[in-house]
A = this chain, B = another copy of it.
Amino acid sequence: MKVFLNWTVGPKDTKDSPVIEEVPAHVPGGAQLDYANFHNWGDYNYGQNARKFDGLEDKYWLYKAKVELPSNVEGKDIFLVAKGIDYEFEIMLNGEVLRYQEGMFTPVEVDITDKIKNGDNIEVLIYPAPKRKGAKTHDREEADQSCKPAVSYGWDWHPYLVVLGIWDEFYIDIREKERIESCELFYKLSEDFSTAFIHFEATSINNGVIEYTIYDKNGEKVISTTESDFELKNPKLWWCNGQGEPYLYSWTARLLNTKSQVHGRVGFRKVELTMNDNDWRAENGTRAYPPMTLTLNGRIIFAKGSNWVNPEIFPGTITRDTYEPLIRLAKEAHMNIFRIWGGAIVNKDCFFELCDEYGIMVWQEFPLACNNYVGTDKYLKVLEQEATSIVKRIRKYACHVLWCGGNELFCSWSRMTDQSLALRLLNKVCYEHDRDKPFIPTSPIMGVSHGYYLFMYPDGKDVFTGIQNKRNTAYTEFGVPSMPSADYLRTFIPEDELFPPEPGGSYEFHHAFYAWNSLDTWISRDILEYYFGQAENLEQLVEQSNWLQKEGLKAIYEEARRQKPFCSMALNWCYNEPWKTAANNSIISYPNIPKPAYYAVANSLRPVLASARIPKFLWFSGEQFIMELWLLNDSPKGYSNFTIKAYIEIAGEEVLLVEWKTGMIPANQNKKGPSVSYLLPNVNTDRIKVKLKCLENDQYSSSYELKYKLLEDAE
């Protein structure tokens, strides 16, 4: 039985100084957020309100609660349980330190049976946020000797707001004396997947007999035994979205002759990271690119999805209801994978439960990003503790398919290498505790691409051309930014700043200006004006911005799919966002409002679709328009004999360019069709539409909206 507490929290200037002001606290939650709410600072999403938090991360924060036990605790064991406290802290009972810890991902469990009584004081003293001495101020470098997620230290879509607090459940746990103390299910599948060899690892206080029962998804008992090792014949396998059902069994372990029972779920599946298109490159005496093809239950999967970032600035406020709409949207967009970016937190358990249910595979990174995490003894010790806790918590989920050391650690701005002790340690921890799951040290590894993040490349070419010139084993980050809707902008950009957007105020604070490599990131005013000229109002600016994001992401996703099997992954940067941004690469606005690009991406990720390989976005009158027809199929089903009619529509006139009889389309294979060309007329319009109609099934039809200009308007 869990007994939750009523908490207050307050800042302190030093460890030993008094609390300056005590305010009511939400647990789980965030210390600074409680403080802000008490003082009615208003929505931190609005304007530049979030600046008010500056400096609060340098305080100590003291949480206090009085123990109120239920009446029936006699003869029971009493534990103090904290699932996550951010970041360095002491837990005290009546002033006695029960636990000191650095690290927000390692749960605390302390037996307090002989210590606790009604009216006792429990306190949690949280230390100031870690900042490495000598690091640049207000820079992610401050996080490079800790396991604190770096995103709080500011990113191109996240303010500098270093959160602290009790971010996951904290409770007094009343337990029966005779009980199962821990229980976990492990399994291996036979080579032909016809048998699951199940092993339960359980400990009980009284060493009594435990009965293990497996139930199917309808709750029907499948097998029940008191052996901890047994076989399950013909298990239904767990499949990711688009490849089959994400079948989940449930299980119980009951300590016989007691009331103690433990529950769990299991999805049976085998995951491997295999060589892309068997590309060994032996001939040149060096080695091939490392493997980046996800293989699920022996079947090669084209991994299509997105990069998940923290959905809230304050992770303590995240609940199942935060995750669920976002994960459902991914499923509806035919995605099958999230890369959980290493700059942010490792999500709460309910995230993985939902991904298990929706069939979304999870690539989980450790909390390292864009820094050189030097392997000092102190850092490695905390990292080993935190990584071990993370692995032991996550390994059981069917959705979890890949461990990764962190984000962009082998890049020039981070300068870690294969020899970096932190990454060797993470490989070791994963081997020890979850050896059948693949591990990569970082993304990108050799052969993999991150970027580009604007519609137009530095060389002036657009993303259509850019992606078609690349040959990578996986595109695990790429982006085109956009603005959210005008109505949405009005909820957090003060009226007097709304149009035209200018640097220096709320737009800049919300990442529209100077967020990345130039004044115009992420708003891309320069690129929008190149294609569309000056926008006349906010609505028009937003529409232009969305047009580029929609068509840009479609071009990349579909080209990546066409490059299969040498290419095995396409994940855009990024999926969601932790607060309201005025411009960002996200395809879903905070908290879960799809941008138009979300629907465009969903279209490009349909398992089966007609796809046009168009070499660029902007076309001029008198130019020869060219494209290639493709039929993309990443489903486990084959198809036969589609008829694809390709049309070009310009100024209201629709011209049939070609009719393609596809013939057979094998399972999980694409087919290349004819190339066509068409002389663009001189007409008064601003766009071309390309339509591919599948006569047999309109669900496979596609369309593209391209920019058109009269030749005399060309620069």
A residues with CB within 8 A of B: 272-275, 280-282, 285-291, 410-413, 415, 417-419, 421, 424-425, 427-428, 430-432, 435, 438-440, 442, 444-452, 472
Contact = CB atoms under 8 A, between A and B. Distances in A.
Nearest to A478: B285
A286 B449 contact: yes
Given A411-B280, A427-B427, A446-B286, A421 B435 contact: yes
A430 B427 CA distance: 12
Nearest to A451: B285
Given A444-B286, A450-B285, A451-B285, A431 B421 contact: yes
16 contacts: A274-B417, A280-B411, A280-B412, A285-B450, A286-B450, A287-B410, A288-B412, A289-B446, A290-B417, A291-B419, A419-B438, A419-B439, A421-B435, A424-B427, A424-B435, A425-B431
A287 B444 CA distance: 7
A628 B392 CA distance: 60
B285 A417 contact: no
A275 B417 contact: yes
A449 B285 CA distance: 5
A446 B281 CA distance: 11
Given A280-B411, A418-B445, 16 more contacts: A273-B417, A273-B419, A274-B419, A280-B412, A282-B411, A285-B449, A287-B444, A287-B445, A287-B446, A289-B446, A291-B417, A291-B418, A419-B439, A424-B427, A424-B435, A424-B439
Nearest to A437: B419
A424 B417 CA distance: 16
Contacts of A289: 446
Contact of A280 (B285, B415, B427): B415
The binding surface of chain A is classed by DSSP as loop
Contacts of A440: 418
Nearest to A281: B412
Nearest to A424: B431
* Pairs of residues from A and B, 5 with the lowest C-beta to C-beta distance, nearest first: A282-B412, A280-B412, A287-B410, A428-B428, A285-B451
Contact of A419 (B272, B425, B446, B447): B272
A431 B384 CA distance: 12
Given A432-B428, A446-B446, A282 B413 contact: yes
A472 B284 CA distance: 11
Contacts of A447: 286
Contacts of A427: 424, 427-428, 431
Q: Which of A415, A419, A447 has the most CB of B within 10 A?
A: A419
Contacts of A282: 411-413
B415 A452 contact: no
Nearest to A280: B412
A286 B421 CA distance: 21
A104 to B, nearest CB: 24
A441 to B, nearest CB: 8
A449 B286 CA distance: 5
Contacts of A410: 287-288
Contacts of A275: 415, 417
Which of A275, A290, A472 is the most central at the interface, judged by chain B CB atoms within 10 Å of its CB?
A: A290
A107 to B, nearest CB: 25
A434 B445 CA distance: 25
Contact of A448 (B286, B412, B425, B452): B286
Nearest to A275: B417
A382 B333 CA distance: 47
A688 to B, nearest CB: 30
Nearest to A421: B435
A286 B430 CA distance: 24
A410 B432 CA distance: 23
A480 to B, nearest CB: 15
A111 to B, nearest CB: 31
A341 to B, nearest CB: 16
A418 B442 CA distance: 12
A676 B9 CA distance: 80
A294 to B, nearest CB: 11
A288 B447 CA distance: 10
A460 to B, nearest CB: 16
A450 B452 CA distance: 34
A286 B472 contact: yes
Contacts of A428: 427-428, 431-432
A330 B418 CA distance: 30
A286 to B, nearest CB: 5
A425 B430 CA distance: 10
A452 B285 CA distance: 8
A442 B440 CA distance: 16
A288 B445 CA distance: 9
A415 B287 CA distance: 10
